[in-house]
Amino acid sequence: MKLVFGLACDGESYPDFPGRSEGVFGAAAVGPLGLLSAVELQLGLTGPQVSQAARVACYASKLRTALEHNSELFFAQSAALDSWATATTLLQWRDELVVGGWTMAPTGSERPDALAAIECSGTELPPGVADRLQSVRRALETGPSLSIEFLQLVENLETFPPHLQSLIQQLASCGVAVREPQLEVEAAPGDLGLIQRFMGGGAGGHLKGDGSFVHVQSDTALSGAEAVAEWLARGSEEELQGTVVISEDGDTALLDLALEARGLPALGQSNASPWRGALQVLPLSFAAAWAPFNAKALLDLLMLPRPPIPRKEARKLAYALSREPGTGGTRWANAWAEIEADLDARVVGGELTRSKADKLLASWREWTTAGSYTRTEGMPASSARAIAARVGQWALQSDAGNEDPLLLTVAGAARALAEAIDFLDLDTLPALVLERMLEQVLADGAKNPAHIARAGGLRCVVSPAAIWKKAPRIIWWNLKGPGEKAPLSPWTKAEAGVLAAAGCTLEAPATFARRTALAHANAVRRAGERLLLVTPALCGGEQTTSHPLAHQLESMVAPVRDRVTWRAERLFEASGEFLAGRELRRERLSVDTPPQVRAVWSLPEGARAKLAGRVESATSFERLADCQMRWMLLEVIRVSRSRVADVPGPDQLLGNLAHEIANRVLRPGVPDDPTAILAEAQHEFERALEAIATPLQQPEYAGELAAARSRVPQALAQLAGMLREMGVEIVGTELERSRDFGQDLSVSGRLDLVVRHPVHGLGVIDLKWSRSVNRRRTEIAEGRAVQLATYGAVADDVGSERAQGAYYLLNQRRLLGLPGSFLADEAIETERSLEGTWTAMVTTWRSWRNLALKGALVATGAETAEDHIPADLPLMPGTEPCQYCELTGLCRVAAETI
């Protein structure tokens, strides 16, 4: 076996393996983990490995045992506050000492001896990389024969961490030929050669700007990507073969877009992230299990790109949850009824057996059974294992042998979590510990499975030290600071001295910093013909800082900066530019003027046809009164805003809650006594809260919920008292009403509260939960109370009686109506009656509808819209029709000017 060993060669490296003639058999480029695995295999030391989460869990258990014997250990208080985080930190310290040669024997120093006490407590800790390394080193002490012909080093041995120096020296003593680095001594010609001599410790020289070394600077990473891709596109296919891209942050998504746009192969590097869609199934499953029920967590689970139940069923439940955030409301029950009906139809059609359908339904319900455990009491370990097992089983079944990276990562994380729960050995898991465990098993995340490398000559490495042979062309992509920093040692100088005396050697930060600097120099000195450094001023919306390599080169670059730097934005300013020996020729494209804001838009025939047979509502009338275009797009054509389902905000939740309670306590007939209404409303408040408004139970809404617990029942009790004083009877709540007025006008609506007075007839009360009374007062005063007018027109389901109307503001407990109305506890002077408002609305509707039938659509927010509004319009658009409109980008009223 022939091995090339580099500190950064465990991942992507260049070249892939030693010697093209030898292929991949018997030769490999390896890093520390690769070398350790190769030696383990030859020594017969391989064995099953456990996850890091399981090791932390075991160490947390050992901490508990150690503290039972000695409660004065230095970490006692930290462990009491956050046992998992404490175990994670101490395990990291412990592994660092083991790597350095710690024998776990007491040294006379408090903190190392505390770790020694932990080591002797509880069950044996599963081995990690540090333990594996020590096992290999002990086995090598016997001088075994190894089938490793030679070990070619990429870096000098003295730059390695102490434990790797010791390992390689042991391999040499076992007959492995250890070869020193073979860095080609000849420097490249021109500026690049001067830079290389400078990085090698020489004097450097005066740069001439010959293009062999160029620092590409860009305002944004996007401009830099365009420049690099254009430069590569101007080279030949053969020149791609010897081009290596360094991407220290491990993400080439932006650069790949520019490469693929020019027909070049994508590099396919992406950062591992714990936030990718399928990975969220595990934490969201646990988040939804806590009480109070977190509707947002369950909604997010159902709206994932790959939800744990079929997408069709998941969307039905998500829609119900977004309208009534709870699992006890009518919408939630109706959604499950639809799902069951669909399964029954599949059984009848022979697609499923009854037993299979029942199993599917039970498994789907299991995913949506939420709010079972309180955070103060924790979750039983058996329940946590069951959730982890369910997620793991779903991932494997969904993968179905296709080896999907995300799904396999989910399955591995679920398995690691179950393993960690077993090692932790607790009957009940505190909420904080469980969340820490979830963070641990998902810490490594997963790369974007859709972002893959394409076949081609371009190569990409993450570390500059991973280039171990000459590469004709090197591009250092996204060269920005702060760069790799030396880890801070937790040990004091005195503790380090005690440990060193006991045979535990720790690496000094200065050695790490020197090794990092040599890695930067390595990449520069490996370039054979050209070196391009690409530095954006902005990346990811944030301002970048200077990279350590840029600091190193500053003394050479500063005197001739204009010769060796190239601004990427020049690519967009001229048809021909030279960059690093290549001409970048570009043609200016003509820019078409995008659609501009205009007052009148033409309406196609297909849209006009949708006006036939329409049924209007109070909401559609309100939109029409403000803007014909908004009414047409949202109500008639029904343009979707494509919003992801989300739970409502606190104001809407409180409004929904108040409406539901009113529906339950304001029963038909003479209103009950206010005292009885108050008691019943207080009781129904908690029931309705659990059923349709569970987000209000979250800590961030504690203030709103506390206030609502008092205000909503009191508001309904006061309303009942007002109704009794008026001498009215309740006809009903949440009543569906519709009416055909002829001449193509049909209206329907859901009326919050309908009452009847023995003398004055019908009345409609619209319940509102709002922070201010101003909007409703203004509506009535200006004669634009369209909702009240519409509900009054359709309230009578048996005749044509017109009902009076009023707004009841629950939050302020005020009943606003018109002068002379039997419903008006507080009368607002107005320009027109509700009957007049209804007549005006009908006339307005007819004018706008006729204009739409002629093919004209007016955006009333445009500056010149008043020239196109029908002159006889009774209800003119509001002064700010675009204030609450979501379509201002579509009609271009709020479009960005170019």
Per residue, the 3-state secondary structure of 118-144, as one string, reads: HHCCCCCCCCCHHHHHHHHHHHHCCCC
d(CA 400, CA 379): 31
What is the structure's pLDDT at 370? 80
End-to-end CA distance of the chain: 63
Kindly state the tokens that stand for 739.
Answer: 């009416």
Kindly state the tokens that stand for 2.
Answer: 């022939």
709 and 807 assigned to the same domain: yes
Which helix (H) or strand (E) is 361 found in, with range? helix 354-367
d(CA 780, CA 37): 80
Residue at 135 is within a domain? no
Of 650, 679, 648, residue with least CA distance to 665: 679
d(CA 640, CA 186): 65
Number of folded domains in the chain? 5
Residue found by looking up tokens 């309208």 in the block: 323
What is the structure's pLDDT at 18? 79
d(CA 128, CA 51): 9
Q: Are 222 and 253 in contact (CB under 8 A)?
A: no
What is the structure's pLDDT at 653? 93
Output the CA torsion sign for 395, 396, 398, 404: positive
Q: How many CB atoms lie within 10 A of CB 606?
A: 8
Cβ partners under 8 Å of residue 350, min gap 6: none
465 and 480 assigned to the same domain: yes
DSSP state, 61? H
691 and 802 assigned to the same domain: yes
Length of the chain equals 898
73 and 200 assigned to the same domain: no
Q: Are 875 and 838 in contact (CB under 8 A)?
A: no
Q: Which residues of the chain have pLDDT under 50?
A: 21-22, 897-898
43 and 62 assigned to the same domain: no
Residue at 308 is within a domain? no
Per-position DSSP letters for 765-801, written without gaps between them: EEEE--S-SHHHHHHHHTT--HHHHHHHHH--SSS-P
Residue at 216 is within a domain? yes
Which helix (H) or strand (E) is 528 found in, with range? strand 527-539
475 and 431 assigned to the same domain: no
Of 174, 205, 170, residue with least CA distance to 189: 205
The values of phi and psi at residue 273, to 5°, are -130, 140
Kindly state the tokens that stand for 20.
Answer: 């093209």
DSSP state, 632? I
pLDDT for 646-677, tens place per residue?
A: 888 999 999 999 999 999 999 999 999 999 99
Residue at 617 is within a domain? no
Please state whether beta strands 814-817 and 804-809 pair in parallel, antiparallel, or not at all (unpaired). antiparallel
Q: Are 278 and 410 in contact (CB under 8 A)?
A: yes
What is the structure's pLDDT at 484? 81
Q: Is the peptide bond before 668 cis (omega within 30 degrees of 0)?
A: no
CA distances from 701 to 204, 651, 695 (A): 65, 11, 8
Which helix (H) or strand (E) is 883 found in, with range? none
735 and 774 assigned to the same domain: yes
Of 65, 64, 46, 55, residue with least CA distance to 94: 55
| Cross-strand pairs, 536 | 218
| Cross-strand pairs, 380 | 428
Residue found by looking up tokens 């016997």 in the block: 142
Of 311, 312, 298, residue with least CA distance to 369: 298
CATH code, domain with 769: 3.90.320
* Among 585, 606, 629, residue at a domain's last position: 585
Cβ-count burial of 812 within 10 angstroms (0-12 exposed, 13-18 middle, 19+ buried)? Answer: middle
d(CA 680, CA 311): 40
How distant is the alpha carbon of residue 211 from its chain centre? 42
42 and 56 assigned to the same domain: no
Please state whether beta strands 856-858 and 600-602 pair in parallel, antiparallel, or not at all (unpaired). antiparallel
How distant is the alpha carbon of residue 354 from its chain centre? 39
Of 553, 556, 518, 549, residue with least CA distance to 183: 518
43 and 94 assigned to the same domain: no
Which helix (H) or strand (E) is 742 found in, with range? strand 729-742
Residue at 422 is within a domain? yes
Angle of helix 509-526 relative to helix 548-557, nearest 10 degrees, comes to 60
Residue at 392 is within a domain? yes
Residue at 636 is within a domain? no
How distant is the alpha carbon of residue 768 from its chain centre? 35
What is the structure's pLDDT at 494? 93
* Among 447, 473, 493, residue at a domain's last position: 447
d(CA 138, CA 131): 11
What is the domain extent for residue 668? Answer: 650-844
Of 714, 713, 696, residue with least CA distance to 705: 696
Residue at 364 is within a domain? no
Coil, helix or strand at residue 303: coil
Listed in sequence order, the DSSP H helices in 532-668 are 548-557, 561-564, 605-609, 618-626, 628-630, 650-665
What is the structure's pLDDT at 572? 87
| Cross-strand pairs, 730 | 669, 755
d(CA 254, CA 569): 16
67 and 152 assigned to the same domain: no
Q: Are 814 and 826 in contact (CB under 8 A)?
A: yes
* Among 539, 561, 585, residue at a domain's last position: 585
d(CA 663, CA 677): 12
Alpha-carbon torsion, ordered 893, 895, 897, 898, to 10 deg:
-140
724 and 809 assigned to the same domain: yes
69 and 205 assigned to the same domain: no
